Structure 1
Amino acid sequence: MSARMTSRRRTLTAVAGATAALLLAAGCTSNEPPEEEGSGATEAAAPVEANDEPGEKVVIGFSAPAADHGWMGAITKAAVDTAGQYEDVELRQAEATNDVNMQISHIEQFINEGVDAIVLLPFDGAALTDVATQAMEAGIPVINVDREFSSPFAARATILGDNYGMGVSAGTYICEQLGDNPDAIVAEIQGIESLPLTQDRSQGFEDALSDCGLDVDRRVAADFTIQGGETATSNLLQAEPKIDAIWNHDDDQGVGVMAAIENADRDEFFMVGGAGSLDVMEEIKAGDSVLKATVVYPSTQAADGIKLARLIVQDKNMGDLVSPGVPRTTTLFAPVVTSENVDQFMDMGFRS
């Protein structure tokens, strides 16, 4: 392994450690009031679960796109389950929809009802920006999930998966496996090519590979569907007689990707998935397919949004942070799941 690659791995390890520390801080909260001046800064910290103690009632409006694939279904389920854990939370769930105008009308209804907070995963962030801004102007904090609004005034807090980081994680893993082989052929199966999130993932992947002297030799675009994944992969395998590694952006479309691989009877490469479906984790654990890893894109983002909305409305702090209040932006880590650590992530997996 080259000195450059070793340096890269050390840097990523440091970043991962710092990110994990931040996420731990986000998850460990305190509901204890601030200390009186002069009461002593060295006293024991409040119990980390104190913020889970019941407080004033919080009515949260929740809206997300239709669950037309496993990851989106898991997003909604986790949000609903998390809200149900709090006796002081009333969740008003809008009908899931991919119709932008309908989602706008749902947010307008939440505004008219005077909910305390809104957790919103917009089908289209730009299209929902105006109505989210209206909610903020009405004094209703909006928690923006996954797909960003086009204005900083549209949300009190934003929770994001790390799309660029997904690419970095996938590329770094492939570098670890192939970094000593500069002639290795690496392929990439995107989701929808035109989406910024896809472009971010591809850029992170390209950047990580270049750090160990590898390139993306062949890139094809699917559409986050099973059929699209199968078609794109069939075209890829026909065009490339030999491949050493594949990164597939999305485990849901990966069902089609795997079907194409099996139909072509190809197994000379290994594959890295994306998102973290339970199906893929099970294949990784079994160790009997080309799937050797996947990169997590957390399906807990809206659930985290529910928790943050509750903290904001109840005017609570994130106790393990020195700064008061809830951070404006939280970007979740994108860890690589392999056979060595898969048991740690199985509970987070979703069905494709």
Structure 2
Amino acid sequence: MKFRGVAALSAVALAALTACGSGASAGGGGDITVGLAISTLDNPYFVALKGGAEKAAAELGVKLTVVDAQNDATNQVNQVQTLTTQGVKAIIINPVDSKQAAPAAKAAENANIPLVAVDRSVDEGKVVSEVASDNVQGGTLAAIELGRAVSGDVVHLQGIPGASAARDRGQGFEQGLNSGGIKVVASQPADFNRAKGLDVMTNLLQANPAIKGVFADNDEMALGAIKALGDRAGKDVAVVGFDGTPDGLKAVEDGTMAATIAQQPEVLGRKAVEQAVKAARGEAVQEVVDVEVKVVTKKNVAEFKK
């Protein structure tokens, strides 16, 4: 977690004085408008995160303005810069790329608007609060679970290389490899995308036909890998995903996915809005908010299905 020059009280006090917005008054929100710059809504995980944020905003009586970067880091910077001119009193960013989010953080700082990072960190820039799952722990749990399911060669489908979640999950996965008899023979990015997961997995299978397992940095890529594996998925090849999306949970239930590391995207969205509203009001915020991750297998998947 990186927090450079965090000065929550002074920054948010300035933001409360200089920013203006329009919103409902219920719940003490007053005229607070919060901007949410999300990496992509072409992923059910982030749709759920947005839903949690919207529920929290409604309960707190504030207005939430959502912009979708469509996984384009440059577009996201432009969107945040635009938000700073629209009277928002706080901005939540779910970075496409943690490093490339630096100009967005700078734009918020220059406008005296407090910035909250959610799900992924901002590598450079002032952030008053970071709300995220413990992705390193999740990656370690994934390695342990994959090691329980199989022994032998496995491949790792990585997320967007610049995203902190991909880095952290990969780090945790490497840390957990010594817990079982698995060996990574290939790692390749598939950008958290199901279609790319299918394509990358198809190519990896040609070079590594005898693999016994797959770890994917999210459920979307895992589902793409499952499609590439066909009848082998859940039989002689175990697949472990990450996120606990509805489709991922169904795959666990069906037996084509051995496990997924479930995050709580609705909780992440909710807590990010709560911290952003506190910042907008000039109240003290929690610098780091950790949201628990959990291992989901066929034995306990019913507990996670809604």
Alignment TM class, shorter chain as reference: 0.7 to 0.9
Q: Which residue of 1 aligns with 2:280?
A: 313
Asked if structure 2 preserves the Cα contact closer than 8 Å seen for 1:157 and 1:328, the reply is yes
Asked if structure 2 preserves the Cα contact closer than 8 Å seen for 1:147 and 1:160, the reply is yes
Q: Identify which of 277, 286, 291 aligns with 1:327.
A: 286
Q: Which residue of 2 aligns with 1:32?
A: none
Q: Distance in 2 between matches of 1:192 and 1:159?
A: 19
Matches within 5 A, 1:1-352: 54-57=27-30, 58-86=32-60, 88-94=61-67, 96-151=69-124, 153-177=125-149, 184-192=151-159, 194-195=161-162, 197-212=165-180, 214-262=182-230, 267-286=235-254, 289-300=255-266, 301-314=268-281, 325-347=284-306
The one-letter code of the counterpart of 1:118 is I
The one-letter code of the counterpart of 1:163 is N
Asked if structure 1 preserves the Cα contact closer than 8 Å seen for 2:158 and 2:170, the reply is no
CA deviations over 1:115-140 (Å, ceiling 9, x no partner) = 22111223333333234234235432
Secondary structure at 2:84 match in 1: helix
CA deviations over 1:17-38 (Å, ceiling 9, x no partner) = xxxxxxxxxxxxxxxxxxxxxx
- Label 1:261 to 1:145 Cα distance change in 2 as closer, same or farther (>3 A): same
Q: Distance in 2 between matches of 1:75 and 1:299?
A: 4
Give the superposed CA RMSD.
2.9
Secondary structure at 2:154 match in 1: strand
- Structure of greater Rg: 1
Q: Distance in 2 between matches of 1:111 and 1:198?
A: 28
Q: Distance in 2 between matches of 1:254 and 1:176?
A: 18
Question: Which sits farther off after the overlay, 263-272 or 156-165?
Answer: 263-272
Asked if structure 1 preserves the Cα contact closer than 8 Å seen for 2:161 and 2:191, the reply is no
The one-letter code of the counterpart of 2:137 is G
Q: Distance in 2 between matches of 1:149 and 1:281?
A: 29
- Label 1:200 to 1:125 Cα distance change in 2 as closer, same or farther (>3 A): closer
Q: Distance in 2 between matches of 1:110 and 1:260?
A: 41
Q: Which residue of 2 aligns with 1:10?
A: none
Q: Which runs of 5+ in 2 are unaligned?
A: 1-25
Q: By how many angstroms is 1:167 displaced?
A: 1.4
CA deviations over 1:130-182 (Å, ceiling 9, x no partner) = 3423423543211112332233x42111122333222101012233445xxxx
Asked if structure 2 preserves the Cα contact closer than 8 Å seen for 1:281 and 1:346, the reply is yes
Q: Distance in 1 between matches of 2:59 and 2:141?
A: 33
Asked if structure 2 preserves the Cα contact closer than 8 Å seen for 1:190 and 1:198, the reply is no
- Label 1:119 to 1:279 Cα distance change in 2 as closer, same or farther (>3 A): same
The one-letter code of the counterpart of 1:290 is T
Q: Which residue of 1 aligns with 2:19?
A: none
TM-score normalized by structure 1?
Answer: 0.68
Query: How many residue pairs are counted as aligned between the two chains?
Result: 278
The one-letter code of the counterpart of 1:313 is A
Asked if structure 2 preserves the Cα contact closer than 8 Å seen for 1:117 and 1:142, the reply is yes
Q: Identity over aligned residues, as a percent?
A: 24
Asked if structure 2 preserves the Cα contact closer than 8 Å seen for 1:284 and 1:342, the reply is yes
CA deviations over 1:304-332 (Å, ceiling 9, x no partner) = 2112112333455xxxxxxxx43212233
- Label 1:102 to 1:246 Cα distance change in 2 as closer, same or farther (>3 A): closer
Q: Distance in 2 between matches of 1:308 and 1:227?
A: 35
More strand by share: 2
TM-score normalized by structure 2?
Answer: 0.77
